[in-house]
Amino acid sequence: MIRIVVDCFGGDHSPKANVDGSLSSLCRHKDLQLILTGDKSLLEKELDGKSYDTSRLEIVHAPEVVGCDEKPTDVIRLKKESSMIKAVRLLRDNDDVSGMVSTGSTGALVAGALTRLGTIRGVIRPAFCPILPTMTGGVVGICDSGANVEVNSDYLKQFAIMSSLYLENVYGVSKPRVALLNVGVEAEKGDTIRKEAYEKLSGLECINFVGNMESRDLLSGSYDVVVCDGFSGNVLIKATEGTALELLLKVKDTIYSRTAYKIGALFQKRMFRDLKEFMNYQNYGGSVLLGTSKVVVKGHGSSKAVAVEKCIEQAYMMEASALSSKIEEAIEKYDNYEE
Amino acid sequence: MIRIVVDCFGGDHSPKANVDGSLSSLCRHKDLQLILTGDKSLLEKELDGKSYDTSRLEIVHAPEVVGCDEKPTDVIRLKKESSMIKAVRLLRDNDDVSGMVSTGSTGALVAGALTRLGTIRGVIRPAFCPILPTMTGGVVGICDSGANVEVNSDYLKQFAIMSSLYLENVYGVSKPRVALLNVGVEAEKGDTIRKEAYEKLSGLECINFVGNMESRDLLSGSYDVVVCDGFSGNVLIKATEGTALELLLKVKDTIYSRTAYKIGALFQKRMFRDLKEFMNYQNYGGSVLLGTSKVVVKGHGSSKAVAVEKCIEQAYMMEASALSSKIEEAIEKYDNYEE
């Protein structure tokens, strides 16, 4: 049995999306057990009338909710009865609970995970690794996308090891092509950190390092994961998602501006629906935090049920594939960094 | 008379695009004089049969061409007879020549400009400021987009002053809204450099600082210029341009996959042409280098005639608006940095 905690509050569509996503996940995996944290009466109301295997769903009462603009350190110190911090503590205190999913405040979740859970042995700093769809029908991971705004080349080396294992084990990518985000593809490009990282990744036997990548090629399908500091990774993913959404909006607005365009669009209804689906991050789950001692998945604040279900699926797959112990082994074998 | 040098080699469509763009510019401005550098016989062949005011066009023979993968320091040292380095020297040696345009190697151009031209008095480091169209019909500048992969908050402060003046003087934006690129909008977000820069920009009277900006909002129309280090600025502009191009390609491919979509597209021909035009960087000129003692505009390597013409227009407007002396005054008044 794989046991996962779902923080049911803090997202835009909480608790409905979190509860519905949880129930779908229970249908999908017969060896999955879920613990929902949040206000018990509200959760019971949400579950009322829905059919599910009650032996695999438990509610742990947590009356407080973490707001998205609360200071992370305050949350940890003062909001012990919140659905998020209760979930973190359940994860920490129970050996048989292997992961958690939250759609709440990213800052509070990272702070909670780092201070309460700690890292996998040997890991310097955990990193986020969200996934985007590529133009060739695959996916690409971005590691780190924001957990560490300041890094050094040792961090980047570990991000490469962890994210490569993640793509291999959770997405079934064989020998993931790992790239380093840089301002040009030539080996000597970038700042000191990038030059050092390039050298370290080139010499790393356990990954398939394919060199530097420019941000414009993220969606090309030529890379399976791109390694970067959390600042530029954050710029990268938000620019990519933001531009795609703005452009689709622009197309939509333009179509409504002329009758001929609208007539044309009647023939393409399914196309625009497919394109929208393609760029819909809800279909690609959340950002997993790689390197914490237990699995933590951060869903987007605006996650609907389908996105929450994907997040639970990611947590489930990470545990089912024993990703954490594979990361621990690889770090021990290929990375002799001493803090 | 405003005199500008055009490096006619080194781009994908050189020398044709550079020559044709130059001739269009001469038509547009009667007080513009151009000096074309490059192989004289090739340039004469390109000009042959075209009508233009010969008194305002001069050729300076430069038989060598700078390749895009040559080491910048080698170019400066060894390629003195190249069209690019000749252009830089013409700019340096002639008081009445006010700017240059090149579609050649960025690295060589930056190195040449920094070592041969120097900076405006008080400027620590010049920075690139390319322009993108926004969804509301305006433009947004990104400063720096790659000249400085490592910066400190003093650099960022100067980038803000220079780019704000650029948007005001060359694009006619009144009180440009200046933002700082960051991982979130809250004041305390980001690394040490960002936190320091936030404070410095907040206290800067000569700009209209509107706070932090996330990369997803670049094209929203809420900002006129975004200030960043050259590494993340490079990631930002290439991710934005790359995603837009990939997505338009995806739409095109999808349309060709089904007859109904193709029929629909017959009603939308003009729409797709307009959208393509909208995202076509050729229409927005080049990246100007802000802070060098004389005007330097870097056109995209794939610039066609229309893009070269826009680059010359930018150089012309920078000189016509006396941007350099305005930058010098502002730096002197609002920035007491001592090197």
Same domain, B139 and B207: yes
Tell me what the mean pLDDT of segment B6-15 comes to.
Answer: 96
Contact A62, A89 (CB under 8 A): no
Q: Does A238 touch chain B (CB under 8 A)?
A: yes
CA dist., res. B13 & res. B25, Å (int): 17
Whether A101 is covered by a domain: the verdict is: yes
Residue A230 within a domain:
yes
Mean pLDDT for B278-303 is 90
A-chain CB neighbours of B218 within 8 Å are 239, 242-243
| Pairwise CB contact (< 8 Å): B243 & A244 | yes
Mean pLDDT calculated for residue range A191-219: 97
**H/E element holding A160?**
helix A153-171
- Dihedral sign, CA of B200, B206, B207, B209? positive
Same domain, B93 and B150: no
Closest alpha carbon to B184 in A188, A230, A22, A288: A230
Nearest CB neighbour to A216, from listed B231, B239, B254: B239
Alpha carbon of A72: minimum distance to chain B alpha carbons (Å): 12
Q: Looking at the complex, does the CB of residue B214 fall below 8 Å from at least one CB of chain A?
A: yes
pLDDT of residue A261: 84
Residues B117 and B136 in one domain: no
User: Residue A146 — φ and ψ, nearest 5°?
Assistant: 155, -5
Which chain A positions have a beta carbon within 8 Å of B132's beta carbon?
none
Average pLDDT over residues A225-253: 92
Question: B236 vs A215: CB contact, 8 Å cut-off?
Answer: yes
Distance in Å, alpha carbon of A42 to nearest chain B alpha carbon: 31
* B234 lies within 8 A of chain A by CB: yes
Which candidate from A149, A243, A265 shows the least CB-CB separation from B244? A243
Percent of chain A surpassing pLDDT 90: 81
A2-7 vs A97-102, strand pairing mode: parallel
Q: Which of B150, B240, B245 sits opposite A239 (nearest CB)?
A: B240
Distance between CA atoms of residues B331 and B267, nearest Å: 53
B338: pLDDT strictly greater than 70: no
- Provide the 3-class DSSP secondary structure of residue B91: helix
| Residue B150 and residue B15 share a domain | no
CA distances from B249 to A296, A329, B254 (A): 36, 42, 8
Q: Which two tokens stand for residue A163?
A: 């994210």
* Averaged confidence pLDDT in chain A: 94
Residue-level pLDDT at A67: 87
A60 and A117 share a domain? Answer: yes
| Residue B247's pLDDT band (cuts 50, 70, 90) | confident
The residues in B 56-95 lying below 8 A from A, measured between CB atoms, are 69
Higher-confidence residue of A305 and A255: namely: A305
Two structure tokens written together for B204: 């800067």
The predicted-structure confidence for B31-67, as pLDDT tens digits, reads as follows 999 999 999 999 999 999 999 999 999 999 999 999 8
Share of chain B above pLDDT 70, in %: 99
pLDDT band with cut points at 50, 70 and 90 for residue B214: very high
* Residues in chain B closer than 8 A to A231 (CB atoms): 183, 190-191, 232
List, as one string, the DSSP characters of A216-269. Answer: GGGGGSS-SEEE--HHHHHHHHHHHHHHHHHHHHHHHHHHHT-HHHHHHHHTTH
Instruction: Give burial (CB, 10 Å; 0-12/13-18/19+) of B278.
Output: middle
Q: Are residues A107 and A143 in the same domain?
A: no
* Contact across the interface for A275 and B254, Cβ inside 8 Å: yes
CATH number at residue A284: 3.40.718.10
Confidence of residue A308 (pLDDT cuts 50, 70, 90): very high
Alpha-carbon span B201 to B123, nearest angstrom:
16
Asked if residue B339 is part of any domain, the answer here is no
Judge if B134 and B89 occupy the same domain.
no
Contact: A268, B250; criterion CB under 8 Å: no
Chain A hits for B214, Cβ within 8 Å: 238, 242
Q: Are B309 and B156 in contact (CB under 8 A)?
A: no
Residues B138-153 as b/e (b if ≥16 CB within 10 A, e otherwise) read bbbbbbbbbbbbebeb
At B339 the pLDDT is: 46
Q: Which residue has the tokens 């229309």?
A: B306
Q: Suggest the residue from A218, A235, A273, A280 to mutate for an interface test with chain B (most B CBs closer than 10 A).
A: A235
- Check B216 against A239: CB less than 8 A apart: yes
- Is residue A211 situated within a structural domain? yes
Q: How many domains are contained in chain A?
A: 2
Do residue B190 and residue A258 have CB atoms under 8 angstroms apart? Answer: no
Question: Same domain for A134 and A276?
Answer: yes
Give the model confidence (pLDDT) of B73-115 as tens digits. 899 889 999 999 999 999 999 999 999 999 999 999 999 999 9
Which tokens go with B249? 């390609």
Contact across the interface for B234 and A250, Cβ inside 8 Å: no
* Same structural domain, A96 and A133: no
Q: Are B230 and B271 within one domain?
A: yes
| Nearest one of A190, A223, A230 to A209, comparing CA atoms | A223
- Is there a single domain that holds both residue A257 and residue A316? no
ipTM of the prediction: 0.92
Sheet holding B127-129, edge to edge: B57-61, B32-38, B2-7, B97-102, B295-298, B287-290, B127-129
- In a domain, residue B271? The reply is yes
| Shortest Cα distance, chain A CAs vs residue B70, angstroms | 11
pLDDT at B5 over 80: yes
Instruction: Mutate one of B155, B219, B231 to test the A interface: name it (highest A CB count within 10 A).
Output: B231
User: How confident is the model at residue A299, as a pLDDT?
Assistant: 96
Q: At what angle do helices A323-334 and A305-320 cross, to 10 degrees?
A: 50
**Residues A247, B242: C-beta atoms closer than 8 Å:** no
- A232 vs B235: CB contact, 8 Å cut-off? yes
- Given an 8 Å threshold on Cβ–Cβ distance, is A183 in contact with B218? no
Determine the residue of chain B that is closest to A232 in CA distance.
B232
Do B210 and B314 lie in one domain? The reply is no
Give CA–CA dist B308/A311, Å, rounded: 49
Cβ within 8 Å, pair B220-A246: yes
For residue B35, the model assigns a pLDDT of 98
- Spatial contact of B85 and B79, defined as CB atoms under 8 Å apart: yes
Query: What is the token pair recorded at A39?
Result: 């206000």
- Quick check: A338 pLDDT over 70? no
- Residue A292 carries which DSSP code? B
- How many Cβ atoms sit within 10 Å of the Cβ of residue A23? 20
Domain that holds residue B4: 1-123+291-322
**pLDDT for the residue B257:** 84
Is A331 within the bounds of a domain?
no
Cβ contact B271–A255 (<8 Å): yes
| Contact (CB, 8 A) for B274 and A254 | yes
Q: Which of B231, B241, B271 sits opposite A183 (nearest CB)?
A: B231
Pick the residue from chain A with its C-alpha nearest to B230.
A183
pLDDT given for residue A339 in this prediction: 46
Structural domain includes residue B252:
yes
Q: Residue B129: is its pLDDT beyond 50?
A: yes
- Within a domain: A327: no
Interface of B with A in 258-277 (CB under 8 A): 258, 260-261, 263-268, 271, 274-275
Q: Is B128 helix (H, G, I), strand (E, B) or coil?
A: strand
